[in-house]
C-alpha cells in the first residue's frame, strides 16, 4: 500500500510539473486538486478546513502565476486570492453551512434519487393475524450507546385479557418504586442512550432494557408522562430528528446469581396484577406451599367461562415443561429453552387463521407463530407457575457502528419478548422466539454467551432435590432428568433406602461400572463419528462434477439436520441455502458453485465442483461460529444424517 501511495505522489508531481512547464493553468489546477484531494479523503482529524485553505491557495497561485505577464498583475491577483481564501474559510466555518453539511462530501450521494420521506408507526398490543414487513428497510431510530447488545423497549403489555396482551399505562407513584432494585436507585448498572428519532412516528420514548428516566427538551417533546414501569409517553407523535436521552437499569446477572433468587415477591407484584391469568383471577406466587393443589382448586371453584376454559390445559403443559423446580430461574430457563430449541416450534410470520384462544392454539396445536405468539405464551405460562411476568414490546438491538458508537434500528427490528421479575434484579428480559434476536446476558438461552453448563447443572440439581409426587405432572426430559411418574429400575414397589453403604466392595463395583459405562459411551460416540465420516467420504468417490455437486448439497442438508433443523430429504438447494442464511452463513458463493457444477458448461464444471467443496467448508465454519460447544457436540453425535429421525 505504501509503494502505491509513493508511486501516486510521484505521478501527480510529474504531471503537475509538466503542466506548469507548459503554462497550462487549468490543467495544473486540475492535477493539483486531484492529487491533493485524494489523500485528503484518506486522512482523519480536525484539520479539514486548514487543508482545504492550503489547496485553494495553491490553486489560486497557479492560476495567477501562470496567467500573469507582469508584477503588477501578479500583485493584484495575490490580493484578490487572499480575499477569496478568507471568504471561503469564513463561509465554510459558519454554523449554517456546517449544519446543512453542504460541504460534507462524505455524505454526498450522486446516484440515488431523493425519495419521499417514509414514516413508520406501530400499534403496541397483541395481534396474531400475521406480520407483514415491507421489502424496503427503513431506519426508525439511531441510538448512541455502549456496544452491549440490548433490546430497545417502547412499552410493556401487562394485562392478559383472555385473548392477548394489552398495554396498561400506570402513572409513576410518588416515592421509591418497590419493584425497582436498590442498585438502580444507587446508580449501579445504569446505561445512557442518546436517541435520535428517524422514521418512527410514535408517542412512546424508547430506552434500553428497563428505562428508569428520560431527559428531553420540553419545548419540542411537550409534557412527557412517565409511568412507574419506565414507560414514557409524549402528548403527540415524535417526529424525525427529535432527540432525547434515556437512562436504563441493565444488570447482567449470571445463571448462578438468578438461581439464588428466591420465589417470594413484594406484595405490589400481586396487587398490580402481575400474577393474573385473566382479569380478576390471580394465581398464588411461586413459593406458596402445595401450590399446584391450590391452583387446581382455584380453577375448580372459579367460573370456567369462555375466557379461561381453553387455557386450563396450558397450566398442565407449563407444569410438564418446568417439572418441579426449586427456583423461579429454573422454571424460566426451562420454558425459554423449550420454546427456542426443544419444543418443536417453528417461527412463521403468517401462521394462518387461529381461534378465539390463539396462544393456547399456538402451544397445544399448531406450534407455528412469530414473536407475539412466543412471548405471549411464555409470559402466561410463567404466571401459571407463579412467576410475575409480562410482555415487552419494542425493537431488537439493530446494527452497531463502532466508529460512531451508534446503533441503527430499522422497522424490521420490531419485536416482542418477555420480562420476568427476580428479587435483587427487578424485571429481566427473556426471549423465547427462535431466530429473531439475541440478548447479551449469559443467563438467557437466547444469548450467544449462554452458560448452558451451569443452567443444566442447576436444573438437574433442582429436580433431584424434589421428592417425586405421583399426582404431579410429568417432568420435561430436556435436560436428562428422569420423569418421577415413571417406575424406578427396581420396580414399582421398590423402596428407596437411605443409609450407610453395605460392606463387601460395593464402592469399587460402582466405580468399575462407571468406568465401563464411560468406555461404552466413548466407543459409541467414536462409532457414530466414524460412520458419518465414511458416509460422507463415500459420496465423493466420483469424478462426475454433477455427482460431486449433489454430494455437497447432501452434506449441507446433513449438517443442518444434525443441528436440529427441519430439513426434509426433498429440500432443494435454495431451501437449504435459506436455512443456512438464516443461521448467519454467507451461502451465495456456495450456491453459485454448485449450480455451475451441475448445469454449467462441461469445461468448467470440474473446477466449479472443487470450488463448491471449498465453499461448503467455509459455510460450515461460519455456521459453527454461531454455535455453542454444547450444540457442536450435539450435532457431531446426532444420528439424523444417518437416517434416524429420533
- Bridge partners (DSSP) listed for residue 395: 152, 414
Say if residue 323's pLDDT is above 70: yes
Query: Tell me, what's the pLDDT at 473?
Result: 32
Query: Tell me, what's the pLDDT at 84?
Result: 66
Query: Tell me, what's the pLDDT at 104?
Result: 52
Cell of 10: 510521484
Say if residue 606's pLDDT is above 80: yes
Query: Tell me, what's the pLDDT at 65?
Result: 67
Query: Tell me, what's the pLDDT at 499?
Result: 35
386450563: which residue's cell? Answer: 312
Asked if residues 174 and 413 have their Cβ atoms less than 8 Å apart, the reply is no
Say if residue 209's pLDDT is above 90: no
* Residue range 350-381, pLDDT digits in tens: 998 777 899 999 999 999 999 999 999 999 99
Query: Tell me, what's the pLDDT at 490?
Result: 35
Under the banding of pLDDT at 50, 70 and 90, the label for residue 85 is low
More confident residue, 638 or 214: 214
* pLDDT, mean of residues 411-429: 95
Say if residue 464's pLDDT is above 50: yes
More confident residue, 491 or 645: 645
Query: Under DSSP, is residue 611 helix (H, G, I), strand (E, B) or coil?
Result: helix
Q: How far apart are CA 199 and CA 205, in angstroms?
A: 14
DSSP β-ladder status, 406-410 and 276-278:
unpaired
Query: Tell me, what's the pLDDT at 488?
Result: 38
Asked if residues 589 and 578 have their Cβ atoms less than 8 Å apart, the reply is no
Percent of the chain with pLDDT over 70: 75
Say if residue 58's pLDDT is above 90: no
* pLDDT, mean of residues 149-154: 94
Query: Tell me, what's the pLDDT at 477?
Result: 34
Under the banding of pLDDT at 50, 70 and 90, the label for residue 573 is confident
Quote the DSSP letter at residue 450.
-
Q: CB count, 10 Å around CB of 644?
A: 8
3-state secondary structure 91-136: HHCCHHHHHHCCCCHHHCCCCCCCCCCCCECCCCCCCCCCCCCCCC
CB under 8 Å to 357, separation ≥6 — which residues? 162, 163, 310, 311
Pick the most confident of 78-92, 112-126, 346-360.
346-360
Say if residue 98's pLDDT is above 60: no
Pick the most confident of 67-71, 118-122, 495-499, 584-588.
584-588
**Distances, alpha carbon 117 to alpha carbons 48, 200, 547, in Å:** 31, 11, 51
Q: How far apart are CA 539 and CA 26, in angstroms?
A: 68
Say if residue 73's pLDDT is above 70: no
DSSP β-ladder status, 406-410 and 368-369:
unpaired
Asked if residues 406 and 415 have their Cβ atoms less than 8 Å apart, the reply is no
Say if residue 94's pLDDT is above 60: no
Q: Looking at 3-7, 101-105, 162-166, 521-525, which range is the least confident one? A: 101-105
Q: CB count, 10 Å around CB of 577?
A: 20
Q: Looking at 75-79, 484-488, 532-536, which range is the least confident one? A: 484-488
* pLDDT, mean of residues 136-162: 94
Q: Looking at 119-123, 341-345, 626-630, which range is the least confident one? A: 119-123
- Bridge partners (DSSP) listed for residue 585: none
3-state secondary structure 124-172: CCCCCCCCCCCCCCCEEEEEECCCCCCCEEEEEEEEECCCCEEECCCEC
137-146 CB burial, b ≥16 within 10 A, e <16: eebbbbbbbe
Query: Tell me, what's the pLDDT at 496?
Result: 36
CB under 8 Å to 402, separation ≥6 — which residues? 147
**Distances, alpha carbon 260 to alpha carbons 254, 274, 326, in Å:** 10, 21, 10
Under the banding of pLDDT at 50, 70 and 90, the label for residue 305 is low
Say if residue 19's pLDDT is above 50: yes
Domain boundaries, the chain: 2-106, 139-460, 523-642
Say if residue 299's pLDDT is above 70: yes
Query: Tell me, what's the pLDDT at 339?
Result: 96
Query: Under DSSP, is residue 574 helix (H, G, I), strand (E, B) or coil?
Result: helix
Query: Tell me, what's the pLDDT at 72?
Result: 63
Q: Looking at 138-147, 179-188, 246-255, 314-323, which range is the least confident one? A: 179-188
Q: Looking at 111-115, 220-224, 274-278, 562-566, which range is the least confident one? A: 111-115
* pLDDT, mean of residues 469-479: 34
Query: Tell me, what's the pLDDT at 4?
Result: 61
Cell of 122: 406501530
CB under 8 Å to 207, separation ≥6 — which residues? 152, 153, 193, 195, 214, 230, 232, 246, 247, 248
* pLDDT, mean of residues 441-460: 79
* pLDDT, mean of residues 616-627: 87
Query: Tell me, what's the pLDDT at 43?
Result: 52
Q: CB count, 10 Å around CB of 442?
A: 19
More confident residue, 121 or 350: 350
Say if residue 118's pLDDT is above 90: no
Q: How far apart are CA 193 and CA 206, in angstroms?
A: 10
Q: Looking at 178-192, 506-520, 525-539, which range is the least confident one? A: 506-520
* pLDDT, mean of residues 38-58: 63
Phi, psi of 282 (to 5 degrees): -110, 130
More confident residue, 508 or 397: 397
Say if residue 535's pLDDT is above 50: yes
Query: Tell me, what's the pLDDT at 35?
Result: 72
Q: Looking at 396-405, 525-534, 583-592, which range is the least confident one? A: 525-534
Mean pLDDT of the chain: 79
407457575: which residue's cell? Answer: 385
Under the banding of pLDDT at 50, 70 and 90, the label for residue 221 is very high
Say if residue 304's pLDDT is above 80: no
Q: Looking at 40-49, 260-269, 303-312, which range is the least confident one? A: 40-49
Query: Tell me, what's the pLDDT at 531?
Result: 82
Which residue from 471, 488, 634 is spatially nearest to 564, judged by alpha carbons? 634
Alpha helices (runs of H) in 563-628, residue ranges in sequence order: 573-582, 588-599, 602-625
Amino acid at each position: 500500500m505504501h509503494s502505491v501511495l509513493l508511486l501516486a505522489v510521484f505521478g501527480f508531481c510529474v504531471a503537475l510539473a509538466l503542466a506548469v512547464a507548459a503554462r497550462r493553468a487549468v490543467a495544473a489546477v486540475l492535477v493539483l486538486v486531484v492529487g491533493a484531494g485524494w489523500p485528503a479523503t484518506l486522512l482523519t482529524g480536525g484539520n479539514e478546513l486548514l487543508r482545504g485553505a492550503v489547496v485553494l491557495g495553491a490553486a489560486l497561485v497557479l492560476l495567477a502565476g501562470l496567467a500573469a505577464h507582469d508584477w503588477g498583475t501578479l500583485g493584484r491577483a495575490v490580493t484578490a486570492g487572499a480575499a477569496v481564501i478568507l471568504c471561503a474559510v469564513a463561509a465554510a466555518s459558519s454554523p449554517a453551512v456546517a449544519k446543512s453539511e453542504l460541504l460534507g462530501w462524505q455524505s454526498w450521494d450522486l446516484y440515488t434519487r431523493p425519495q419521499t420521506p417514509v414514516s413508520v408507526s406501530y400499534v403496541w398490543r397483541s395481534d396474531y393475524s400475521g406480520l407483514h414487513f415491507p421489502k424496503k428497510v427503513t431506519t426508525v431510530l439511531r441510538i448512541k450507546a455502549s456496544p452491549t447488545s440490548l433490546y430497545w423497549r417502547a412499552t410493556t403489555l401487562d394485562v392478559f385479557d383472555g385473548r392477548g396482551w394489552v398495554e396498561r399505562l400506570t402513572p409513576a407513584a410518588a416515592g421509591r418504586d418497590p419493584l425497582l432494585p436498590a442498585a438502580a436507585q444507587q446508580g449501579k448498572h445504569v446505561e445512557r442512550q442518546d436517541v435520535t428519532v428517524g422514521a418512527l412516528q410514535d408517542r412512546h420514548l424508547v430506552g434500553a432494557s428497563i428505562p428508569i428516566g428520560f431527559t428531553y427538551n420540553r419545548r419540542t417533546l411537550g409534557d412527557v408522562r412517565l409511568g412507574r414501569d419506565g414507560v414514557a409517553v409524549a402528548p403527540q407523535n415524535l417526529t424525525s430528528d427529535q432527540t432525547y436521552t434515556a437512562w436504563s437499569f441493565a444488570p447482567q446477572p449470571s445463571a448462578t446469581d438468578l438461581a439464588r433468587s428466591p420465589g417470594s415477591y413484594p406484595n405490589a407484584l400481586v396487587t398490580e396484577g402481575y400474577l393474573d391469568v385473566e382479569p380478576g383471577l390471580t394465581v398464588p406466587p411461586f413459593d406458596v406451599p402445595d401450590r399446584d393443589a391450590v391452583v387446581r382448586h382455584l380453577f375448580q371453584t372459579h367460573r370456567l367461562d369462555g375466557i379461561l376454559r381453553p387455557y386450563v390445559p396450558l397450566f398442565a403443559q407449563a407444569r410438564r415443561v418446568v417439572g418441579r423446580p426449586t427456583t423461579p430461574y429454573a422454571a424460566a430457563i426451562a420454558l425459554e429453552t423449550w420454546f427456542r430449541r426443544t419444543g418443536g416450534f417453528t417461527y412463521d410470520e403468517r401462521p394462518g387463521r387461529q381461534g378465539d384462544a390463539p396462544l393456547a392454539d399456538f402451544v397445544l396445536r399448531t406450534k407455528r407463530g412469530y414473536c407475539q405468539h412466543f412471548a405471549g405464551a411464555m409470559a402466561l405460562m410463567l404466571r401459571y407457575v407463579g412467576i410475575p411476568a409480562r410482555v415487552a414490546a419494542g425493537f431488537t438491538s439493530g446494527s452497531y457502528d463502532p466508529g460512531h458508537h451508534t446503533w441503527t434500528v430499522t422497522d424490521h427490528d420490531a419485536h416482542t419478548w418477555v420480562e420476568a421479575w427476580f428479587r435483587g434484579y427487578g424485571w429481566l428480559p427473556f426471549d423465547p422466539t427462535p431466530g429473531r434476536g439475541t440478548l447479551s446476558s449469559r443467563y438467557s438461552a437466547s444469548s450467544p454467551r449462554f452458560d448452558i453448563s451451569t443452567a443444566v447443572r442447576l436444573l438437574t440439581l433442582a429436580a433431584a432435590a424434589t421428592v417425586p409426587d405421583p399426582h404431579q405432572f410429568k417432568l420435561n426430559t430436556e435436560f436428562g432428568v428422569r420423569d418421577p411418574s415413571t417406575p424406578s429400575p427396581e420396580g414399582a414397589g421398590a423402596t428407596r433406602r437411605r443409609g450407610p453403604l453395605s460392606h463387601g466392595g460395593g464402592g469399587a463395583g460402582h466405580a468399575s461400572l462407571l468406568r465401563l459405562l464411560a468406555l461404552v459411551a466413548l466407543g459409541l460416540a467414536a462409532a457414530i463419528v466414524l460412520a458419518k465420516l465414511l458416509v460422507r467420504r463415500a459420496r465423493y468417490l466420483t469424478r462426475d462434477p454433477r455427482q460431486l455437486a449433489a454430494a455437497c448439497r447432501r452434506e449441507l442438508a446433513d449438517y443442518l439436520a444434525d443441528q436440529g433443523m427441519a430439513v426434509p430429504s426433498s429440500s432443494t438447494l435454495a431451501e437449504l441455502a435459506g436455512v443456512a442464511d438464516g443461521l448467519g452463513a454467507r451461502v451465495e458463493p456456495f450456491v453459485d458453485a454448485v449450480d455451475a457444477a451441475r448445469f454449467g458448461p462441461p469445461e468448467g464444471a470440474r473446477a466449479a465442483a472443487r470450488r463448491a467443496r471449498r465453499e461448503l467448508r467455509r459455510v460450515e465454519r461460519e455456521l459453527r461460529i454461531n454455535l455453542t460447544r454444547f450444540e457442536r457436540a450435539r450435532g457431531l453425535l446426532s444420528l439424523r444424517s444417518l437416517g434416524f429421525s429420533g
